[in-house]
Amino acid sequence: TWSDQPSGSAKNTQSSTGADMAFPTSPDELTTEWLTEVLGYNVSHFQVEAFGEGAGIIGMVTRLHLDSVGGPKSVIAKFPSPAEENRAVAATYDMYGREISFYRDIADRISLRVPACYHTDHDPETNTFVILMEDLQDWTIGDQVAGCSEEEAMQVIDGIARLHGDTWRTDIDIVSHNNPSQRDGMIGGFGVGWPVVQAEFPDLIPESAANIGDRVPANVGKLLNRMTEDPVCISHADVRLDNVFFGDGEIALVDWQSVCTSAPEQDLAYFVTQSLSDDVRNARDWVLLYHEALISNGVNDYPLDQCRERYRVSALYLVCYAAIIAGTLDLGNERGRALGRTLFGNAMRSLDELNAFELLK
């Protein structure tokens, strides 16, 4: 059922960037004629399958079941979120434009497995887009609440090390994670989320984090500056288990709406401190294993001590992610509360073990 297009290839991608180029911006606007034209094979009929709750918050993700000749039985179609407030967030951070840029300019320059991209359209003026990509239906998607095994964690570590090694000191034109919108968003978002997690999850907050409410926002800019000093590379910037697909001994990463340049340790710290359960996180020296994988992927001028120091800085900065996500999820929903408690608890325990809150002094 899968396309023979090479993994991560975007060579067949088409893109339009003007309002005069009409393209569907929701599943309701899809037609067999448009699908036939952009996919390059005859599509006589299709069915739209909506994903369950929690899939595609910033964008709408659907599966198209196709009756066609010469193509796969299904593809993934991604559109703007139907929620106005979510589209506003996407516009602030150019999240739709970033994902289009990834598939257009970066996907075929990296060895990390990503879904093959069949077609893109994007209009930055109206903040609309559509992406048609490979359906990884035969793969197993990760679950941030359930966690993963040591073996699966190592697959993720190896995967992101390949991404970072392939793009070390990159010349790819993509936004830095250290930008005014990101800084202001983290400061404002932490200010909103921290009181919520204090009220909802007080048992998860260690003594070392008791007084960080004012100190984290005051230090976001400094932490970002340290994270984006040379060397930087391409960062997925959202490496959590819900965005990881596991195949036969390898992973694929999806949801590239936050792609940027940053410290390689940003992806590492986000995954290790917020997606791994305590027993898996403490089972191995993941920073050392990551550094070894980075070296094996061609990076030979990066000391382990520097990697450890930037990991600690990145982990502290990412407490903003934990507070914002856990503080804005629908905590009345069973999955939302479980996810909030899991990622926030993982982050608090990780930062306490790293003595990372000492950096705020």
The pLDDT of 209-228, averaged and rounded, is 96
| Count of H-run helices and E-run strands, the chain | 12, 10
- Asked if the model's pLDDT at residue 120 lies above 70, the reply is yes
The pLDDT of 285-305, averaged and rounded, is 97
Spatial contact of 5 and 118, defined as CB atoms under 8 Å apart: yes
What is the chain's alpha carbon radius of gyration, rounded to the nearest angstrom? 20
- Asked if the model's pLDDT at residue 270 lies above 70, the reply is yes
pLDDT digits (tens, 9 = 90+) for 193-218: 999 999 999 999 999 999 999 999 99
Q: How confident is the model at residue 55 (pLDDT cuts 50, 70, 90)?
A: low
pLDDT digits (tens, 9 = 90+) for 312-350: 999 999 999 999 999 987 766 788 889 999 999 999 999
The pLDDT of 10-31, averaged and rounded, is 67
| Residue closest to 177 by CA, chosen among 114, 226, 110 | 226
| Residue closest to 10 by CA, chosen among 135, 139, 155, 115 | 115
10: helix, strand or coil: coil
Asked which of 34-43, 105-114, 331-340 is least confident by mean pLDDT, the reply is: 331-340
What DSSP designation does 129 have? E
pLDDT reported for residue 17: 42
- Asked if the model's pLDDT at residue 4 lies above 60, the reply is no
pLDDT reported for residue 161: 98
| Residue closest to 62 by CA, chosen among 94, 34, 91, 24 | 24
pLDDT reported for residue 180: 96
pLDDT reported for residue 52: 56
pLDDT reported for residue 304: 98
Highest mean pLDDT among 59-63, 79-83, 162-166: 162-166
Asked which of 85-89, 208-212, 249-253 is least confident by mean pLDDT, the reply is: 85-89
* Beta-carbon count within 10 A of 167 CB: 21
pLDDT reported for residue 54: 46
Spatial contact of 320 and 347, defined as CB atoms under 8 Å apart: no
- Asked if the model's pLDDT at residue 2 lies above 60, the reply is no
The pLDDT of 152-181, averaged and rounded, is 97
- Asked if the model's pLDDT at residue 57 lies above 70, the reply is no
- Asked if the model's pLDDT at residue 19 lies above 80, the reply is no
Q: Which two tokens stand for residue 98?
A: 């970033």
pLDDT reported for residue 84: 87
Spatial contact of 238 and 324, defined as CB atoms under 8 Å apart: no
Spatial contact of 221 and 183, defined as CB atoms under 8 Å apart: yes
Torsion of CA 187, 193, 197, 200, to 10 degrees: 170
Instruction: Burial-class residue 11 by CB neighbours within 10 Å (0-12, 13-18, 19+).
Output: exposed
- Asked if the model's pLDDT at residue 176 lies above 70, the reply is yes
Q: How confident is the model at residue 133 (pLDDT cuts 50, 70, 90)?
A: very high
Q: Which residue has the higher pLDDT, 83 or 196?
A: 196
